[in-house]
Amino acid sequence: MTTTSARRDAPPFAVISGEQVQQALHGREREVAELVEAVYRLHGEGESVNPPSYFLRFPDRPSARIIALPASLGGPLRVDGLKWISSFPENTASGLPRASAVLILNDHDTGYPFACLESSVISATRTASSAVLAADRLSRSRTRPVRVGFVGTGLIARYIHTHLMATGWEFEETGVHDLSADSAAGFRGYLERSGTKGRITVHDSAEALVRSSDLLVFATVAARPHVHDPAWFAHHPLVLNVSLRDLDPRILLASANFVDDVEHCLKADTSPHLVEQVTGNRDFLDGTLHDVLTGRASVPTDRTVVFSPFGLGVLDLAVGRYVHDEVARRGELHVVDNFFHELRRHG
């Protein structure tokens, strides 16, 4: 006897613009922070599939790359998908942002894509929220930082600052350093317009900024380490190593190190990966952010603490699904009629 499964229809396919993404996320920093923490917990509990990222590189454009991040998220969120994000650092010379991205969301039951979202804002949001969550949890056993410094002043730095402010952080001083004087001045202008409290200082050197900050945000486009001297970190700051390739291995070896995911972070010549290559082991790692969230790892108070997040595709899925559902709730989904055309197996 044969059984016939219930008929399933292909889901409607929607395209969500960057403007819609920004509107859906505006002022929702605290909600996104709760969502990001929930995703880290699901990932740590094995409720996700997050394969290695795939890098497309170009012999004629060695500084550029496009990365595919496939992922699947279980638990109550249940969504699969792919982020396709390009990084073309040369864009910044003309004022165009380095990164552009789209996110495809797939239906959990049928596998059919149901949305394509502009994803540079989603990517920046999940990166910022992840960094701020780490800053909060890694500083709970330490003196709360009151001097923040940004090395690199692009889109990611701006989003991290926005999420810090929206989640209750206040600083006596905000330091800024960028190799581009125009970028540093532009970021200072953003800080002033956003009502940043305390003193704003633009530093001529990375050393001056590092030595004067107890929370450091590295958000550059550096391809290899350019900060080499562990003595700059003698005051034991909390470091958000968001761009991953700024710090010499010697700095990490003198620090307590936490990552978002060990296998993802120790690849592609990130600073932690360079440490592994130098030492031949992973003994320098003190744990993951999930270990900190669950109390399995403690954070020292007498050492520099470095958080290195490679960036997990499941975070993009969760924030993208949040945006999709918010746009749908508002009745503003732009559905592409008849996007899936051949839906009869035998014609």
> Does 154 share its domain with 249?
yes
pLDDT digits (tens, 9 = 90+) for 52-111: 989 999 999 998 999 999 999 998 889 999 999 999 988 888 888 888 999 999 999 999
> Does 111 share its domain with 188?
no
Average pLDDT in the chain? 94
Determine the structural domain holding residue 37 and report its residue range.
14-122+313-335
| 32 part of a folded domain | yes
| 8 part of a folded domain | no
Q: Return the CATH number at 76.
A: 3.30.1780.10
pLDDT digits (tens, 9 = 90+) for 287-338: 999 999 999 999 999 999 999 999 899 999 999 999 999 999 999 999 999 8
| 64 part of a folded domain | yes
> Does 174 share its domain with 284?
yes
* CA 133 remoteness from chain centre: 11
> Does 301 share its domain with 165?
yes
| 31 part of a folded domain | yes
> Does 303 share its domain with 184?
yes
What average pLDDT does this structure show over 176-188? 95
> Does 174 share its domain with 274?
yes
> Does 89 share its domain with 143?
no
| 50 part of a folded domain | yes
| 240 part of a folded domain | yes
Q: Which amino acid is at 180?
A: S
pLDDT digits (tens, 9 = 90+) for 96-141: 888 899 999 999 999 999 999 999 999 999 999 999 999 999 999 9
> Does 276 share its domain with 187?
yes
> Does 132 share its domain with 110?
no
Q: Return the CATH number at 276.
A: 3.40.50.720
Q: Say what percent of the chain tops pLDDT 70.
A: 97
| 2 part of a folded domain | no
Confidence category of residue 1, pLDDT binned at 50, 70, 90: very low
> Does 327 share its domain with 253?
no
Domain total of the chain: 2
Closest among 112, 196, 193, 190 to 157, alpha carbons compared: 190
| 211 part of a folded domain | yes
> Does 137 share its domain with 275?
yes
> Does 296 share its domain with 229?
yes
